[in-house]
Amino acid sequence: MERVWIEDLGKFVGKEVEVRGWLFNKRSSGKVRFLIVRDGTGFLQVVMIKNDLAPEIFNLYDQLTYEDAIIVRGVVKREKRAPGGYELLLTDLKIHSKSLDTYPIPKVRPENIPDVGKLFKFRHLWIRSRKQWSILRIRDEVERAIHDFFGSRKFVRFDPPIFTPASVEGTTTLFPVPYFEEGEVYLTQSGQLYLEAGAMALGKVYSFGPTFRAEKSRTRRHLTEFWMVEPEVAWATLDDIMDLAEDLIVYIVERVLENRRMELEILNRDISRLEAVKKPFPRITYDDAAKILLEEKEKGRDIDFTYGEDFGSDEETVISERYDRPVMITRYPRKIKPFYMKPDPEDPTKVLCVDVIAPEGYGEIIGGSQREDDYEELIRRIREEGLPEEEYSWYLDLRKYGSVPHSGFGLGIERTVAWVSGASHVREVIPFARTPERVRP
């Protein structure tokens, strides 16, 4: 008999197969009993009919409790009444191992679902639930889409170091790590400076990996450990990478709609909001965005924004509400952006940068820029920021030996997955979230 995964059951209609998994739920109406079995690839209704089964098998039902590991055999049937469209008419059942205690997470009643925050102490079990299962499968699809996107455009994956001696963005906080005679190094906040070196060597590169920020940010959009994808392209201008960012986001959303529709439905995601994500995205400047905020303020909305400062998350939401797709905001004031961004030749008080704000209040998912490629100008900026010049000597070499225009951006995986899946908090979209107050489990 063939052992199959639930996601492949459609290929075995009429055949007797074996499924190995865990008991997700059970119900009985006497002589007909139902098991919901999950095996990681899906959820399956299993039917036990008293007259068709030996009593010692039929009665095993009474022993079953949540999350027992079980092995079921039966005949696959197409069945409208079954969730998922297929069910298994049981012929044999084995309890591989019993749950030793009451399962700590209620799974049956929607009104009994604890606050998301409280569930994190059970994260190792919580990921077995339908919604978390769906979110993690969407995350996988997003990540896979990203690799396929860059692969098809012949970008070379370039893995920057995790241990770094200096900060990319001097203002944010770093996690120090003891490092032999060196004393202290830091966990990376961004691979960008290394990616710029990679772009000069390999043309089009991207990195995909974890980054760390020791910010005590307690919001639904922050983690201390999060994943980023960062492309960097030689000879690319700001407009070039804005096109790239737009294509990437559209592709990610398309792929999720194509391959993870069932999961979106389990999450009650409004799919029409995702279907609206098509090219072109609106492109506005910082000054345009500031005007929008001013208009909204005149309409009586409570907006606390001063021209010249960065947008807060409330302001981002107000701006994004005007559009049904991500909005790209360019040319922020130079003084609120890091040293490596190139000033706008038409207005040197601004830099050639872009933030992409996701719809529905999910906030900034991309930050990118055209990089300063002039040697003298870059030194000047490093000194202006009071950064340790010696640490940047290798970075300056990139401008010394055949400097070219180049641009790149970073896309936050968790914020993107949270937006696409409709999750309320980025902690839900990574298997084991790290926040200032939680590193367990």
Partner RNA sequence: GGGUCCGUAGCUCAACAGGCAGAGCACCCGGCUGUUAACCGGGGGGUUGCAGGUUCGAGUCCUGCCGGGCCCGCCA
Of 233-262, which residues contact RNA (CB under 7 A)?
none
C-alpha distances in Å from residue 376, one per residue of 178, 232, 350: 34, 22, 19
| Three-state DSSP state, 376 | helix
Does 217 engage in binding with RNA (CB under 7 A)? yes
CB contact at 8 A, 194 and 175: no
Strand 327-330, strand 353-358: pairing? antiparallel
Measure the CA–CA gap between 158 and 205, rounded to whole angstroms: 6
Contact (CB, 8 A) for 24 and 37: yes
Q: DSSP character for 313?
A: H
Cα–Cα distance measured from residue 379 to residue 387, given in angstroms and rounded to the nearest whole number? 10
Q: How far is the CB of 34 from RNA (least distance, A)?
A: 4
Q: In sequence order, what are the beta bridge partners of 229?
A: 208, 411
Instruction: Give whichever of 106 and 280 is closer to RNA, judged by the CB atom.
Output: 106
Q: Of 181 and 437, which has the nearer Cβ to RNA?
A: 437
Contact between 32 and RNA (CB under 7 A)? yes
- Residue 257 or 336: the one with the smaller Cβ distance to RNA is 336
Rule CB under 7 A: which of 314-333 touch RNA? 314-316
Say whether residue 43 binds RNA (CB under 7 A).
no
Site for RNA in 79-108 (CB under 7 A): 79, 81-83, 87, 89, 102-108
Q: Token pair of 45, please?
A: 């209704």
Q: How far is the CB of 89 from RNA (least distance, A)?
A: 7
Binding of RNA by 384 (CB under 7 A): no
Among 57, 69, 95, 116, binds RNA (CB under 7 A): 116
> Of the listed pieces 273-281, 308-316, 340-348, 378-386, which binds RNA according to CB under 7 A?
308-316
Q: Which is nearer to RNA, 108 or 201 (CB)?
A: 108
Amino acid 210 reads P
Beta bridge partners of 205: 156, 232
- Tell whether residue 219 is a contact of RNA (CB under 7 A): yes
Shortest distance (Å) from residue 327 CB to RNA: 14
DSSP H/E element including 17 = strand 16-28
H or E, element range at 340 = none
Pick the piece of the chain touching RNA (CB under 7 A) from 146-154, 224-232, 270-278, 320-328: 224-232
* 269 lines the binding site for RNA (CB under 7 A): no
Give whichever of 251 and 375 is closer to RNA, judged by the CB atom.
251
Q: How far is the CB of 401 from RNA (least distance, A)?
A: 27
Residue where the block lists tokens 């012949």: 154
- Strand ranges (E), 262-346: 283-285, 327-330, 343-344
Dihedrals φ, ψ of 119, to 5°? -75, -10
Instruction: Tell me which stretch binds RNA (CB under 7 A): 176-184, 277-285, 359-367, 400-408.
Output: 359-367
Answer yes or no whether residue 395 interacts with RNA by CB under 7 A.
Answer: no
